[in-house]
Amino acid sequence: MCRTETAAKSRRVERVNMIPLSIPNFEGNEEKYALDAVREGWVSTGGAYIGRMEEMLARFLNAPQTAACQSGTAALHLALRECGVEAGDLVIVPTLTFIAAVNPVRYQGADPVFMDCDDSLCMDPVKLRAFCEEECEWDGECLRDKRDRRRVRAIVVVHVFGNLADMEAIMSVAEEFGLPVIEDATEALGSRFTAGKYAGMQAGTIGAFGAYSFNGNKIITTGGGGAVTARDRKACEHIRYLSTQAKDDELFYIHREIGFNYRMTNLQAAVGVAQMEMLPEFLRRKEQNYRYYREAFAGCETCELLPFRPGTAPNYWFYSLLLYPGGSAPDLRGIIAALRERGVQTRPVWGLIHEQKPYAGMTAYRINAARDYAARILNIPCSTQLTKEEILYVADAVREVLSGDRFFT
């Protein structure tokens, strides 16, 4: 057990309302800027706030430029298209992720190759190298799968819950085998390396492309919305061109490429500009609350607050508990229901993508760790509005629910 029952009871606060898992925070100029966009009449895919959002994001990331788009999924799709991913290609992806990181591969007619995770929950670079060395071969121009000679075209790396993947090892493999890397940084805006080869660099700025999401539960939000960054300025400009239906002549509607309706709206961007102004404060609160949780769960035998990668300054987007480390797999559904009865909203990690019906039968390479983590991870409330008292209540509720053995399967 964690600490003593008496100490837990002395801290407990009465709950009337649910403590949500993750909700947006509108403490800044969101209403002011959104009303300004409405009053000016610029609410669709034109307007000054879109450019301001792109400039603020690029400055924060220390990136050449960014292209604001409709969602993180759209950002990933545009990045894959810019990488030259075509029908019949293979793209290496993680299985422990949200399905939106993988679906755009299929939009391009390519197939995913699913990779296991390491203890960061991000792609395992050891298995990535093993797959490239043992299951593939270089034909003088590109990497091909030995079995069917299909071209391996790219790697999509997800920085899960704001924890940074081992980019030094992954980029080493990518560079050796000529594979562009797309960083899915949809959960990792504000995470950066503090040591090693990429010290000072932000999530999403190391690979060829980086994708960001501003969904309602992300560290900043535009309601929907996302963005792409690229190491090559011209590539980012081309992505912006594709996101606005590939217009070559806006007066006579001349198009020389297939484009997409993927541009962010000015109304979304107005909210985004206000959120970018608040981002440093949100990052501070996320780190502070993580430290409160770490203290609250110190010494717990039934769960462990997962750490973040050394040599990084993460954004602490999601806080994750590993339940019953070293023991039997728990009944996650029962635990989540019991916590909901106590006014605490939680969720499991995603169902592994290679086990989902749309991806049945596709290549999954030596998946082991991801299965264990998927069976044991519980995400706990992480909103920037959380108070210390609420954090202590969550910790007490988790300890109470996990006591005994009724949730072992």
Q: So what's the pLDDT on residue 82?
A: 98
Q: So what's the pLDDT on residue 14?
A: 57
AA letter at 115: M
* pLDDT tops 80 at residue 326: no
Q: In the beta sheet, which residues pair with residue 222?
A: 224
Structure tokens at 303: 């769960």
Q: So what's the pLDDT on residue 92?
A: 99
Maximum Cα–Cα distance for the chain, whole Å?
Answer: 75
> Is residue 184 within 8 Å of 212, Cβ to Cβ?
no
Interval 60-90: pLDDT, tens: 999 999 999 999 999 999 999 999 999 999 9
AA letter at 80: L
- For 30-275, the fitting CATH number among 2.40.50.140, 3.30.360.10, 3.40.50.1110, 3.40.640.10 is 3.40.640.10
CATH class of 5-25+278-402: alpha beta
Letter string b/e over residues 339-351, b meaning 16 or more CB atoms within 10 A of that residue's CB? beebbbbbebbbe
Q: So what's the pLDDT on residue 38?
A: 97
Which of 16-25, 70-79, 280-289, 347-356 has the least mean pLDDT?
Answer: 16-25
Q: So what's the pLDDT on residue 334?
A: 96
In which order are the strands placed within the sheet that holds 303-305? Answer: 303-305, 319-323, 377-380, 347-348
Interval 384-393: pLDDT, tens: 999 999 999 9
Q: Which residues 6+ apart lie within 8 Å of 340 measured at CB?
A: 18, 346
Structure tokens at 47: 């307007």
* pLDDT tops 80 at residue 29: yes
Q: How many angstroms separate the CA atoms of 124 and 309, rounded?
A: 13
Interval 259-290: pLDDT, tens: 999 999 999 999 999 999 999 999 999 999 99
* pLDDT tops 60 at residue 176: yes
Q: What is the mean pLDDT of residues 373-393?
A: 97
Q: How many angstroms separate the CA atoms of 181 and 183, rounded?
A: 6
Q: So what's the pLDDT on residue 407?
A: 85
Q: What is the mean pLDDT of residues 46-54?
A: 97
Mean model confidence pLDDT for the chain:
95
- For tokens 């006579």, what's the residue? 252
> What are φ and ψ of residue 270, in 5° steps?
-60, -45
pLDDT bucket at 325, cuts 50 / 70 / 90:
confident
The 3-state DSSP class for residue 243 equals helix
DSSP code for 19: B
Q: What is the pTM of this model?
A: 0.95
Break the chain into its structural domains and give their ranges. Answer: 5-25+278-402, 30-275
Q: How many angstroms separate the CA atoms of 170 and 129, rounded?
A: 8
Q: How many angstroms separate the CA atoms of 153 and 277, rounded?
A: 37
Q: Which residue has the higher pLDDT, 329 or 209?
A: 209
Interval 210-231: pLDDT, tens: 999 999 999 999 999 999 999 9
* pLDDT tops 80 at residue 169: yes
> Is residue 211 within 8 Å of 186, Cβ to Cβ?
yes
